[in-house]
Structure 1
Amino acid sequence: MKKVIKKIKSSAIVKNDGKNFLHFFLAFTVIFVALAVIIIQVMQLGMYRATDQNLRDLSQNQAFLQDAANNQLGTNSPQSRGDYGPNNSVIFYNSDGESFMPSSSTAQSSDFVLTHLQKSMKFKESQLNSISSVSVNNPYGDDWHYRYLTSRFIINNVDGSITPVYVQIFSNVDQIQDAMSRAMFVIITTMIAFWLLSVVISLYLANWTLKPILSAYEKQKEFVENASHELRTPLAILQNRLELLFQNPTSTIIDESENISESLSEVRNMRLLTTNLLNLARRESGIKISPEPTTASYFENIFSSYEMLAENAGKSFTGNLKLDGTINLDQALIKQLLTILFDNALKYTHDNGEISLDVQKAGGILIFTVADNGEGISDEDKKKIFDRFFRVDKARTRQKGGLGLGLSLAKQIVDAYNGKITVEDNKPQGTKFVIRIRLDNPITNPAKIFQKL
C-alpha cells in the first residue's frame, strides 16, 4: 500500500499540483498588490483634495500674494502680517531662483519653521503649476510635512514698478499625514493578512482542481489493470490448451474436442470482453441520444424475445407494460440497457427462476423495473455493483460468462438520459433494478473528468 501511495505522489499529475499552487498564489499576489495600490492612491487623492484646492485658490489670490511679498520685502507695517492662515507659508524667488528673506504671517515661531523650510527647498522651474509634497527636518521632534504649489507672480512695488518673481505656497499637512500613516498601516496589515490567507486558499484550490483529475487518473489505471487481468486469464487458458494439443500430435479432433471446446469458449469470452471494452471507450467520450417515435409494440417485441430466452434457460419471464401513445426513445440504447439487466437476472437465478420486467410511464418519466428471485446482492456489494469489472462472486461469474462490465454500461446509458438507476432487494428473495429516465430532457453524457466522482 505504501508503495502505491508513494508512486501516486511521484506521478506527473501530482507533481503538477505545485504549478497549480504557484499559479493561484501569483494571481492572488497580483490582485492584492494592485488592490492595495489603488486603495492608497484613491485615499491620498481624497485626503489631499481640500488642501490642494486651497493651494490653487491661494495661487490665484493676488491680494494674498501681494501682502506676503510685502512682508518678505519689509514694506508692510508691523501690524500687517498678511491674511493667510498659520498652516500656510510662502517663499518668493527672484528671477535668478534666489529666495527673499523669509517672513511669515504668524509669530516668530513660524519664522523659525519658514527658515528651515527655505533651507530645505530649491526652486525648480520644471515644477511650475504643479503640486508636490516635501518633508522638512525638525531638530526638536518629528519632521514637518507640506504640500506646495510653485507658480509665477508679479509684485507691484511702492515706486510703481513691477517685479516678476516665482512663488512657492506651502500648506502644512502633518495631521493629514498622521491619519494617512495610520490608514496605510491598517490597509497594508490587512492586505498582508489576506495575502497569507491566500497561501492556504491557493493550496486548497490547487488540491481541489486536481481531485477529479486524480480520481479519473486512478480509475483509468484501475481500468487498464483490470482489463489486463481479465485478458491474462483466457490467454493463459488458451496457451495451456494449445500446449496440450502439441503433446498429442496424433490425436483426432474428437479426442481433443474438450480442449478445442474450452479454447473456443475462452476466445468467445475474449471477443465479448474486447467488444465491451470498445463500447466503454466509446461511451466514455459521450453517448449521443438519437430518439425516434416508439410505441408499445417495441416493448412487446422485446418481451417476446426475453420470454423465449428464459424458456430455453428453464426459467420464466413476465412482462408488464403500461404505456399509451407514442414516446421518443433511442431504441438501440434502451434495448441494450434492458438486455444487460435481463441477462444479469438470467445469470443469477437458479433453475425455475422467475424474472419480471415492468415498463410504465409517469408524466415525463419512464420507469423500468427488472426483478428476479435469485441470490440477491449484499448491501456492501450494492455500492460497487456499477463499478467496472466488479463481480459479486468472481469465480461463479466467470463460469457463467460474466465480465463485470454490463452494469457499468447500463449506468452510462441511464446517465446519458439524465436518469437514475438503483438496486434494491426483491421481496421475499432476489434483486430488483429500478431505472428512471427523463423523456423530456435527454443529454449527451460528457467525459466525467471534471464531474464529482
Structure 2
Amino acid sequence: MKAKLPNKQRIRLFLANVLAFALVFFALGVIVLQVLSLSAYRETDQQLTQTTSDSPTVQLEITRYQENDPTLHLDENKPFKEGPKPMFNNQVILWSKDGTILNKEALGSRYAQFESLTLSTKNLDSIQTVQLEDQSSNTADFRSIIRKAPENDANIAYVQVLANTNQIKSALTNFRAILIACMIIFWFLSIGISFLLANLSMRPIVASWKRQQEFVENASHELRTPLTIIQNSLQHLFTKPNHTILDESESIAQALTETRRLTGLTNDLLTIARNDSNQQVLEYQEVTIQSFLDELIKPFQEMAQLDDKALLLQPLDNPNQTWVVDRKKIHQVLVILLDNALKYTRPQDEIFVVTTTTNKEWRVAVSNTGPSISDQDKQHLFDRFYREDHSRAKETGGYGLGLAIAKQLVEEHHGEIMVKDFNYHHKVGVTFEFKLPKK
C-alpha cells in the first residue's frame, strides 16, 4: 500500500505532463497555421485592395473590350502606364448589370474556367475567396474583389479582379501536413520526456516521504525505550506500597533520568521538525568572534578538566574580528560539537578549537585526539538517529540527532559542515569543521 502512493502520484504527474505538452503543441500549431495563412494571403489581398476601378490593369481590360482588341498590351496604351503594375496570375472580369461577362473574347480559352462564375454585389469592395470548377472537374482557388466600374459607354457595370491562389493553397496544405506530422512526432517524444520529468519530479517527493517515514519510525522507536523504562519504574513502585522514597530511590532516580532524556529527545525532535517546515527564522546579529568563543568554551574547559582532558582554544590574530550570524544557532552548533568531543574522548585526550577568518568565510574546527571514525561511518554521521557505536551512544545518552541538528543550523546559514581525520604529533582523532560565508 505504501509503494502505491508514489506510483499513483507519478502516474498523475506523467499524465499531467503529457496533457500539457499536447495542449502546448496544439495551441502552437493553431497559432502558426493562423499566422501563416494570414501572412500568405496578405500581399495578394493588399494588391487586390490597391487595384481600383481606374487602375491601369482595369483600364487596359476596359479599353480592350471597348476597342474589341484582346491583344492590346499595356505598353501600347501610354495613358495607362502610371500606377501599380499588373499582378502575375491576375484576371479582370467585366460585368454587365444583369450579371453577364462582357470580356469573353479577352479571356479566350480561360473563359471555360470562369464560366461558372456568378456576379454577387453583396460584398462590394471587400476581399472574398472564390473556388471555381471547370468542365474537367479541375478546381481553382482565387482571391477576389468586386468594384463598381467607372462611367463608360460600354454598359460595364462592375469590375471583378481575381488573383489565383492555387500555389499558395498548395504550399499551405503541404506545410500543414508537415506541421501536423512534426507535432505528432514531437508529441510522442514528449511522452518519453514526460515520463522522465515525472520520475525526476517524484525523486525529491519520494525521498522526503521515505525520510519522513524513517523519521517517524526511528522517533517512535527511540521514544518507546524511555517510556517503557518509566512505566516499569512506576509499576514497580505500586508493587511496594509500604516502601519509603528512600527505599525506592533507585527506581525513582531511573524514572527521572529517563524523563530528562525524553525531554531532551522531544526538544531535539521539535527542533528538527521546525527546521524541516522552515518555521525557524534566523535572527542575524554582529558577533565578536573571540569573546563569543571564550564565553562559550569556558564551562566546557571546566568539564574537560574534571574528566582529566584538555580543551584548548586557538585565539584569532585579530581579537576584534566580527561576523554576522544567528548567535543562538551557532552557539547550539558549537555546543553539540564540544559535547560530542567530551563524550567520545578518554582521559588524557586533547580537544582543540581552531577558528580562522578570510574575506569570504569564517571557519571553526573542533578536533580531538582519541577514537577515529571509519570512512563508512563518516558518510552517515549527519543522518538522523545514526550512531556510530550504539552501545557507547547508549552510555552517553545520545540519540543520533545532535549532528543532524548541527548540519541543519549550519546549512540555514548557507554554510557547510564536514568531518575528517585529525593527526596531531603522531596522535589520531577526528575533526568536525564548519564554515559560514559572509552575509
Report the TM range for the smaller structure's normalisation. Answer: 0.7 to 0.9
25-34 vs 348-357, which deviates more?
25-34
User: Matched residue pairs, number?
Assistant: 421
Specify the alignment match of 2:434 in structure 1: 435
Q: Deviations over 1:368-426 (max 9, x none)?
A: 11112232222122111111111112232122100111111111221122221110112
Q: Distance in 1 between matches of 2:416 and 2:142?
A: 74
For 1:435, give the aligned amino acid: F
Specify the alignment match of 1:224 in structure 2: 216
Which runs of structure 2 are paired with 1:210-289 in the superposition (5 Å)? 210-284=202-276, 285=278, 286-289=280-283
Q: Distance in 2 between matches of 1:180 and 1:341?
A: 73
Specify the alignment match of 1:29 in structure 2: 22
CA 1:53/1:302 → structure 2, altered by over 3 Å: closer, same or farther?
closer
SS at match of 1:89: strand
Q: Distance in 2 between matches of 1:205 and 1:287?
A: 33
**Contact 1:89–1:114, Cα closer than 8 Å, also in 2:** no
CA 1:79/1:94 → structure 2, altered by over 3 Å: closer, same or farther?
closer
Runs (4 or more) in structure 1 with deviation over 6 Å come to none
Specify the alignment match of 2:78 in structure 1: none
CA 1:78/1:202 → structure 2, altered by over 3 Å: closer, same or farther?
same
Q: Distance in 2 between matches of 1:383 and 1:287?
A: 28
SS at match of 1:34: helix
Specify the alignment match of 1:89 in structure 2: 91
For 1:212, give the aligned amino acid: P
Q: Distance in 2 between matches of 1:49 and 1:175?
A: 14
Specify the alignment match of 2:114 in structure 1: 114
Specify the alignment match of 2:330 in structure 1: 334
Specify the alignment match of 1:100 in structure 2: 101
SS at match of 1:322: coil
Q: Distance in 2 between matches of 1:176 and 1:290?
A: 68
For 2:413, give the aligned amino acid: Y
Q: Distance in 2 between matches of 1:67 and 1:287?
A: 85
Residue 26 (structure 1) shift: 4.1
1:291 to 285, 294, 302: 285
- TM-score computed with the length of structure 2 as normaliser: 0.85
Residue 179 (structure 1) shift: 2.6
**Contact 1:94–1:164, Cα closer than 8 Å, also in 2:** yes
For 1:392, give the aligned amino acid: E
145-154 vs 32-41, which deviates more?
32-41
Q: Distance in 2 between matches of 1:367 and 1:50?
A: 71
SS at match of 1:134: strand
Specify the alignment match of 1:379 in structure 2: 375
CA 1:423/1:287 → structure 2, altered by over 3 Å: closer, same or farther?
farther
SS at match of 2:243: coil
CA 1:141/1:263 → structure 2, altered by over 3 Å: closer, same or farther?
same
- TM-score computed with the length of structure 1 as normaliser: 0.82
Specify the alignment match of 2:143 in structure 1: 147
Residue 282 (structure 1) shift: 3.0
Residue 337 (structure 1) shift: 1.2
Please list every run of 5 or more consecutive structure 2 residues that lacks an aligned counterpart in the other structure. 75-85
Specify the alignment match of 1:169 in structure 2: 161
For 1:88, give the aligned amino acid: N
Please list every run of 5 or more consecutive structure 1 residues that lacks an aligned counterpart in the other structure. 1-5, 442-453
**Contact 1:102–1:111, Cα closer than 8 Å, also in 2:** no
Q: Distance in 2 between matches of 1:126 and 1:22?
A: 51
Specify the alignment match of 1:306 in structure 2: 300
For 1:223, give the aligned amino acid: F
CA 1:263/1:130 → structure 2, altered by over 3 Å: closer, same or farther?
same
1:422 to 409, 418, 421: 418
SS at match of 1:426: strand
CA 1:253/1:63 → structure 2, altered by over 3 Å: closer, same or farther?
closer
SS at match of 2:157: strand
Specify the alignment match of 1:317 in structure 2: 311
For 1:430, give the aligned amino acid: G
SS at match of 2:404: helix
SS at match of 2:428: coil
Specify the alignment match of 2:80 in structure 1: none
SS at match of 2:149: strand
SS at match of 1:311: helix
CA 1:138/1:189 → structure 2, altered by over 3 Å: closer, same or farther?
farther
